[in-house]
Structure 1
Amino acid sequence: MEPGASLRYGPRMKLTKPPSSAAHHFGDYLREWRQRRRLSQLDLALEAEISTRHLSFLETGRSQPSREMVQLLAEKLDMPLRERNVMLASAGFAPVYSERTLDDPALKSMRDAIDLVLRGHEPYPALAVDRHWSLVAANSALLSLVEGVDPALLKPPVNVLRLSVHPAGLARRIVNFVEWRDHLIQRLHHQVNVTGDAALSSLCEELRAYPIPDAARRPARTREDHAGLVVPLQLATDEGVLTFFSTTTIFGTPVDVTLSELAIEAFFPADPETAGALRRMAEKRQAAAGA
């Protein structure tokens, strides 16, 4: 990840095998997701407009679902597309949602859209990540902020959460480390609850286990009251302490598993000082590139 680069795509995203839960009986899988959503049989039956008796028979295996019923229940349970494919497989049906790699020609327009958003966000940092928070692409503003971290953390696939809170990553430069780490863990915990992803659960535990840098044990620098609306990221740089807030963008109504799991994290300056510093950093990058 050279500082002069504008965008970097991660390694080829390979098709993955269905989770082990694909071998489960459909009824067991259905019950697991109903309970994860904290719904009773009556709740789900009302949502799907079927009888509680029929739903009970589906869960116990006394009735076999049609493809349409599987898709209906998956929709009412708000399951990720990847898990909907698994549920279909558990009922004996072929997957409905495709899963292409990002270098597939069919996704070129999507890659172009990601590039356009990331470049258009400069001089502010932005990145695209997959479902496990592995870096897919980033703009040059973000790449300049990660200079000086352990090169091992920048070897693909780069996990941006690990990069943020690892002792050899950005941790020692995050002024409000505890606040930011807890914010990331909270987001990750919510994602685990929504998706049931075991890899994300393991990542969450890993982040919790990292030590707090000595510098982060001091009170965070207070620059502006954000009224509890956002959790800022305060990052120490050669330009001083930069303060950001972030937004997340996802593709609307995707029907491809890969696209449904992509997210763009865009960082905005939380104060005029940060905005000015980012513009100066961009000018330095442009000058270096033209030298």
Structure 2
Amino acid sequence: MTRTVDDVSVGSLLRGWRRLRRVTQLELALKADSSARHISFIETGRSTPSRSMVLHLAEQLDVPMRDRNALLLAAGYAPSYPETSLAAPAMTTLRAGLEQLLTAYEPHPALVMDGMYDVVTANRGVHLLLDGVAGHLLQPPMNAMRLTLHPQGLAPRIRNLAEWRAHLLERMERQAALRSSRPLRGLYEEVAAYPVPAGDAPAGPAGPGAAAGPPLALPLLIEAGGRVLSFISTVTTFNTPMDVTVSELAVETFLPADTETAAALRAAH
């Protein structure tokens, strides 16, 4: 069971993150160039950490930006990182850059997700895969995990659903633990409970264009347009973000894994 960080005092919050990361007080002290005694005093409330110390310890524990703000508030300080709506004027350049990136990736599917896997924007390559998906799954905010694993979503057309489902659930579980996020844990439990379509079995080769031998990475094999398409996905995040919203954005792209998929995408573009 994933441990969550519940207490609102800065010492207990830091202790929760330290235990979540499976780091001892001595190990954290060595990383932070401090002492185990000082770390103990902070955790028990006998010592109040400075603002810089809170941020330094959070950095050593790889605490997400949103939760670093929570640590600062618990210690009596103002949040350090803004959380700007993606629709805000200040985000105009970022939005334009993301749209340009997704358009440039066409005809290959690509999308941008937030920290809850809600789709912020997607290119036309993604829409090619959505034929037959139930309307309620396409209502905004469209959630990538629900869309993929729901029995009325993409799941019935994913030829290697057992492997792809296990990959997605492991990814979600890891993220929920790293962020100590109850909402993300709730989403994980929801999609993990979806029934798996009958007849799911390990898939064979995607088609004549599939590469011989073992794949370079786990492919997504999905039926679309009367054929099986094969993709390898990549996930990209922003380097050194300074805003909570930006820190939680991820760009997922799908690269054709065989020549048939590449040809099918070009023909449909």
TM-score of the superposed pair, with normalisation by structure 2:
0.94
Answer yes or no: is 1:70 the counterpart of 2:70.
Answer: no
Q: Which residue in the other structure is 2:223 paired with?
A: 236
Q: Which residue in the other structure is 1:105 paired with?
A: 89
Pick one of 36, 43, 56 that aligns with 2:20.
36
Q: Which residue in the other structure is 1:185 paired with?
A: 169
Classify the secondary structure of the residue corresponding to 1:153.
helix
Q: In 2, distance between residues paired with 1:27 and 1:267?
A: 43
Classify the secondary structure of the residue corresponding to 1:214.
coil
Offset of residue 175 of structure 1: 0.6
What's the CA shift string for 1:129-187, capped at 9, x where partnerless? 00000000000110121121100001111111110010010111101111100000011
- Contact residue 233 and residue 243 of structure 1 kept, 8 A: yes
Q: Which residue in the other structure is 1:222 paired with?
A: 205
- Cα distance 1:64–1:119, how it changes in 2: closer, same or farther (>3 A)? same
- The gaps in structure 1 that reach 5 residues or longer are 1-18, 283-291
Offset of residue 239 of structure 1: 4.1
Offset of residue 225 of structure 1: 5.5
Q: Which residue in the other structure is 2:45 paired with?
A: 61
Q: In 1, distance between residues paired with 2:213 and 2:39?
A: 47
Answer yes or no: is 1:267 the counterpart of 2:257.
Answer: no
Regions of 4+ moved over 6 Å: none
- Contact residue 110 and residue 126 of structure 2 kept, 8 A: yes
Identity %: 47
Offset of residue 203 of structure 1: 1.4
Q: In 2, distance between residues paired with 1:20 and 1:188?
A: 18
Classify the secondary structure of the residue corresponding to 2:116.
coil
Aligned residue type for 1:221: G
Q: Which residue in the other structure is 1:9 paired with?
A: none
Answer yes or no: is 1:171 the counterpart of 2:155.
Answer: yes
How many residue pairs align between the two structures? 262
Offset of residue 219 of structure 1: 3.6
Q: Which residue in the other structure is 1:254 paired with?
A: 241
Q: In 1, distance between residues paired with 2:31 and 2:98?
A: 36
Aligned residue type for 2:129: L
Q: In 1, distance between residues paired with 2:260 and 2:20?
A: 44
Pick one of 30, 42, 64 that aligns with 1:46.
30
Q: In 1, distance between residues paired with 2:5 and 2:34?
A: 29
- Contact residue 174 and residue 236 of structure 1 kept, 8 A: yes
Q: Which residue in the other structure is 1:6 paired with?
A: none
Q: In 2, distance between residues paired with 1:270 and 1:181?
A: 19
Q: CA RMSD in A?
A: 1.5
Aligned residue type for 1:280: A
Q: Which residue in the other structure is 1:7 paired with?
A: none
- Contact residue 239 and residue 277 of structure 1 kept, 8 A: no
What's the CA shift string for 1:236-258, capped at 9, x where partnerless? 01240000000011111110000
TM-score of the superposed pair, with normalisation by structure 1:
0.87
